[in-house]
């Protein structure tokens, strides 16, 4: 077969330039390009799968104390670190519950302490193995007794941050309201006096400086600080 | 795909182009969807990469915007976790197809190709063997991209899978490394296809 040894014919070059042109157009220099529409089309499917694979009451395997890497846990916040006086701090738990409550830090610390060493995964791509200590949210729920219609849990933070979770994830045995990190009191920049910590949700779901927990029957318009900006609501791991 | 000339074939063929190679419709569909979904996965993946580079973290080198898709981290994630279905399901269906039709035995590299590469002297047959070996070798890389991606996407529910990658940095690195491998593969695969069957072979896969 004696076709000329010119693998790159003009025709081929034109085709290639067409392809790369399409690529440029498709990427439009890093433009969002239909990402909202793509999300609307696929997020329901992804969320359904996330709910199916979530094992609401089984423990995610934990790590050994030697695996903890304190420097890997980066600090993110929307507006610095709010100043909260731990002596006057009150956690409000209300909404669709039989017994709404206000708990001081002393009240919370008198409850059973759960400690876990888990991987904290940030949406940005980094992760850190952290030891968290705190109260299981399911223990708090047992106190306030959510009504049967409660399906979501809202978390309000002192800095204006807000988040909402599905009830099964919130009642997971490793979903903690944490006040300890790596064996020491929780530092202010990590969310003191009280923050969410869990191995089953991305970091942005784990609100810091939580002041109010509300059980609700419906998901409200304001679903979460980053969720309302375009990130996934379920964000399960 | 044209069958390779037999090494001992002494007959001079007329200088007329042989009949155009034909591809199975299923193979062509797989190839197109694979190409498009990989382009979406790679560009949206680099957008996600830029939020916190695997090498160097926030201070690390970032990819230029023109190779990224999604515009920002959330947009990149939306594209990535949508195109993953296209990419993974396409690969799965194709896997079932080549298994049922036994195509994996005929169309993928075999011991005879390896033998040709070791001892063969016919350059055409050697090129053809290289071509088959290279496109066979990309298959496990595509499966690895899915496995490492799933391990990072759902590290709690697929804890056993994440555990196979030892730690988070290794997991991220393995997942990322599939990008340069796929880009390099695309280049080599195109050149080998041209070398083995000229433009008509390339055309047969795309039309």
Residues 35-64 of A with CB under 8 A from B: 35-36, 38-39, 41-43, 45-46, 50, 53-55, 60-61
For residue B59, give the DSSP letter: G
Burial zone of B123 (CB within 10 Å; 0-12 exposed, 13-18 middle, 19+ buried): exposed
| Number of domains into which chain A is organized | 1
pLDDT at A17 over 80: no
Return d(Cα A178, Cα A156) in angstroms, integer.
15
Report the DSSP pairing between strands A114-121 and A101-104. unpaired
A16-30, A163-177, B131-145, B192-206: which range is least confident on average?
Answer: A16-30
Average pLDDT for residues A168-185, to the nearest whole number?
96
Q: Is the pTM of this model over 0.95?
A: no
On whether residue A117 sits in a domain, the answer given is: yes
Q: Which of B43, B52, B158 sits opposite A27 (nearest CB)?
A: B43
CA distances, B172 to each of A58, B6, B67, B144, B155 (Å): 26, 46, 19, 12, 12
CA distance B138 to chain A (A): 22
Contact at 8 Å (CB) between A132 and A200? no
SS3 content of chain B, % helix, strand, coil (to 5): 70, 0, 30
On whether residue A28 sits in a domain, the answer given is: no
Which residues form the domain of A135?
A: 60-216
In order along its 207 residues, chain B shows pLDDT tens digits of 444 444 445 555 555 556 778 888 999 999 999 999 999 999 999 999 999 999 999 899 999 999 999 999 999 999 999 999 999 999 999 999 999 998 888 889 889 999 988 998 889 899 999 999 999 999 999 999 999 999 999 999 999 999 999 999 999 999 999 999 999 999 999 999 999 988 999 888 898
pLDDT for the residue A79:
86
Query: Residue B160's closest chain A neighbor by CA?
Result: A61
Q: Which of B49, B68, B154 sits opposite A27 (nearest CB)?
A: B68
Q: Which of A5, A20, A1 is nearest to B191 (CA)?
A: A5
On whether residue A190 sits in a domain, the answer given is: yes
Indicate whether this complex's ipTM tops 0.90. no
Peptide bond into A122 cis (omega under 30): no
Which 3 state secondary structure label does DSSP give B2?
Answer: coil
On whether residue A228 sits in a domain, the answer given is: no
Maximum distance among all Cα pairs of chain B, rounded to whole angstroms: 64
pLDDT for the residue A91:
96
pLDDT band at A9 (very low <50, low <70, confident <90, very high): low
CATH code at position A193: 3.90.420.10
Return d(Cα A26, Cα A24) in angstroms, integer.
5
pLDDT for the residue B1:
44
On whether residue A40 sits in a domain, the answer given is: no
Maximum distance among all Cα pairs of chain A, rounded to whole angstroms: 89
């Amino acid at each position: 077969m004696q076709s000329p040894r010119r693998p790159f014919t003009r025709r081929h070059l034109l085709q290639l330039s067409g392809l790369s042109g399409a690529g440029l157009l498709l990427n439009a220099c890093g433009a969002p390009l239909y990402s909202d529409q793509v999300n609307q089309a696929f997020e329901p499917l992804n969320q359904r799968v996330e709910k199916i694979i979530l094992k609401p009451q089984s423990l995610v395997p934990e790590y050994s104390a030697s695996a903890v890497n304190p420097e890997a846990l980066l600090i993110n916040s929307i507006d610095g670190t709010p100043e909260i006086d731990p002596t006057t701090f009150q956690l409000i738990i209300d909404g669709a519950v039989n017994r709404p409550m206000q708990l001081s830090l002393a009240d919370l610390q008198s409850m059973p302490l759960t400690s876990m060493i888990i991987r904290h995964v940030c949406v940005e791509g980094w992760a850190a193995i952290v030891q968290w200590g705190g109260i299981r949210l399911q223990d708090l729920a047992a106190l306030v007794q959510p009504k049967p219609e409660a399906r979501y849990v809202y978390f309000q933070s002192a800095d204006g941050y807000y988040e909402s979770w599905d009830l099964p994830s919130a009642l997971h045995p490793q979903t903690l309201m944490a006040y300890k990190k790596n064996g020491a009191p929780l530092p202010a920049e990590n969310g003191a006096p009280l923050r969410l910590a869990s191995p089953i949700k991305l970091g942005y779901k784990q609100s810091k400086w939580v002041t109010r927990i509300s059980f609700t029957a419906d998901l409200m318009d304001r679903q979460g600080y980053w969720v309302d900006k375009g990130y996934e609501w379920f964000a399960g791991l | 795909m044209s069958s390779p000339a037999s090494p001992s074939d002494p007959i001079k063929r007329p200088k007329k182009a042989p009949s155009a190679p034909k591809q199975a419709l299923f193979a062509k569909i797989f190839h197109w969807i694979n190409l498009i979904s990989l382009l979406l996965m790679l560009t949206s993946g680099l957008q996600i990469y830029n939020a916190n580079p695997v090498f160097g973290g926030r201070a690390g080198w970032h990819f230029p915007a023109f190779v990224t898709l999604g515009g920002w981290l959330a947009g990149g994630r939306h594209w990535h976790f949508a195109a993953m279905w296209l990419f993974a399901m396409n690969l799965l269906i194709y896997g079932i197809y080549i298994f049922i039709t036994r195509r994996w035995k005929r169309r993928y590299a075999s011991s005879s190709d390896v033998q040709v590469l070791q001892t063969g002297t016919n350059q055409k047959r050697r090129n053809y063997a290289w071509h088959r070996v290279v496109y066979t070798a990309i298959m496990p890389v595509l499966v690895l991209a899915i496995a490492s991606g799933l391990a990072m996407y759902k590290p709690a529910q697929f804890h056993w899978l994440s555990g196979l990658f030892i730690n988070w940095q290794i997991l991220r690195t393995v997942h990322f490394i599939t990008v340069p491998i796929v880009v390099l593969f695309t280049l080599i695969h195109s050149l080998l296809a041209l070398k083995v069957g000229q433009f008509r072979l390339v055309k047969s896969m795309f039309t």
